[in-house]
Structure 1
Amino acid sequence: MNSPVLPFDFEGCLAACAQGDRHALQALYEQEGGRLLGVARRIARDQASAEDIVHDAFVRIWTHAASYDPSRGSARGWVYSITRHLALNCVRDSRWETELDEPGMIATASPELDDLQLWSGSAKIYRCLERLQPAPRRCILHAYVDGCSNAEIATLLGAPLGTVKAWIKRSLKALRECMT
């Protein structure tokens, strides 16, 4: 007679990680590592990047396990959320690097460019952001400062996903126009 398989205790595992129990982290890795690799691979579309993402996810899980709050969602969901965010950030960062690596995209600093000019350029983005309506401005900040996905921004703002996408698109266009 087979004994029933007990469900994996994600919350207990995270609590043990928060207490410094390396065996709990190993158990979590053995339980979900393969599936998390699949999630990361689907998002990053690259095996090596996916492996790095999962590694970074487990480091973050280990170092932030004490911050898990069961009132905000399941422990398993928290683990997957960390992996998903890291994978999305990896994709976003690689797109940014690709755009900057295109010929003619990186301007070399001229000796005539002084600190005052650099500061005035950074102040310009703040002035341009201030011109945006509050909700679209928050969309831009959540997306580009906090690294949130469009769906997460929609949830944070209580707005429809399509509206959030439209706000971001129009706001980026307005920022480009304002900066030129």
Structure 2
Amino acid sequence: MADRSSGEAEDARRHLVECLRHVAAGDKAALREVYDRTQAKLFGVALRILNDRREAEDVLQDVYLSVWMKAADFDANRASPITWLATIARNRAIDRVRQIGRRDEKDIDSALEVADDSPDAFAHLSAEDDRKRLDVCLDELDERTGNAIRTAFFSGKTYQELADKAEVPLGTMKSVIRRGLIKLKGCLSR
């Protein structure tokens, strides 16, 4: 059973990679296919960060505009397609938070109940092999750096929020994460 779902995940990954290649060549139908296969997950990422459906919908629109314009930048050797797309969604949502300010933070847990019965965003973000490699590489980082990267990239916290929680200047937190990402990139490229 695990082999079957692993095979299905790899087939889905390959299909998205091919669709993104077509999007890079200007194929609108391929963009529609990418949208149909990923919009629920990316909407969930944006909604979790923004806690506002309208804002998340606006961000989702921006995400696919970015995909249309930057599909040629996608490199399947560096990241899975869903990871690349989710990173765009996360960054756009954080940018929107900075523009409008976070709304009603106390009810953020309700965003987890997005109408989607498939696995949660993190489970779908990476195929099984990508997730295992990422976990191994994150575990190689020191605890502070690993936790900061996990919180920033998988929980949608801004660098400022992480700096405030750790009681360090924003520049320090940015440096910690930047150095950690460099180490992570090196580990993932091995």
1:35, 1:150 → 2: CA distance? 18
* Matched residue type, 1:10: L
2:90, 2:166 → 1: CA distance? 20
Q: Given the alignment of the two structures, is residue 62 of structure 1 paired with residue 63 of structure 2, yes or no?
A: no
Q: What does residue range 78-157 of structure 1 map to in structure 2 within 5 Å? A: 78-95=84-101, 151=152
Q: Given the alignment of the two structures, is residue 11 of structure 1 paired with residue 12 of structure 2, yes or no?
A: no
Q: Structure 2 stretches of 5 or more lacking a match?
A: 1-6, 103-148, 154-161, 174-190
Q: Is the 8 A contact 1:150 1:165 kept in 2?
A: no
Q: Give TM-score, length-normalised by structure 1.
A: 0.52
Q: Give TM-score, length-normalised by structure 2.
A: 0.49
1:170, 1:82 → 2: CA distance? 23
2:28, 2:86 → 1: CA distance? 19
Change (3 A) 1:80 1:171: closer
* Matched residue type, 1:168: P
Report the RMSD for the aligned CA atoms in angstroms.
Answer: 3.4
1:62, 1:55 → 2: CA distance? 11
Higher alpha-carbon Rg: 1
Q: Structure 1 stretches of 5 or more lacking a match?
A: 97-147, 153-160, 173-180
* Matched residue type, 1:22: K
Displacement of 1:150 in angstroms is: 7.5
Question: Any idea what the Cα deviations from partners look like across 1:58-108, whole Å, max 9, x if unmatched?
Answer: 000010000112232111110111011101111122129xxxxxxxxxxxx
Q: When the two structures are aligned, how many residues end up with a matched partner?
A: 110
1:30, 1:92 → 2: CA distance? 28
Change (3 A) 1:95 1:27: same
Name 1:168's counterpart in structure 2.
169
Change (3 A) 1:165 1:32: same
Change (3 A) 1:170 1:81: closer
Question: Any idea what the Cα deviations from partners look like across 1:3-52, whole Å, max 9, x if unmatched?
Answer: x9783211111100000011110001111112211211111100100000
Question: Any idea what the Cα deviations from partners look like across 1:106-132, whole Å, max 9, x if unmatched?
Answer: xxxxxxxxxxxxxxxxxxxxxxxxxxx
**SS of equivalent residue, structure 2 residue 169:** helix
**SS of equivalent residue, structure 2 residue 26:** coil
Change (3 A) 1:38 1:150: closer
Identical-residue share of aligned pairs (%): 30
2:76, 2:150 → 1: CA distance? 22
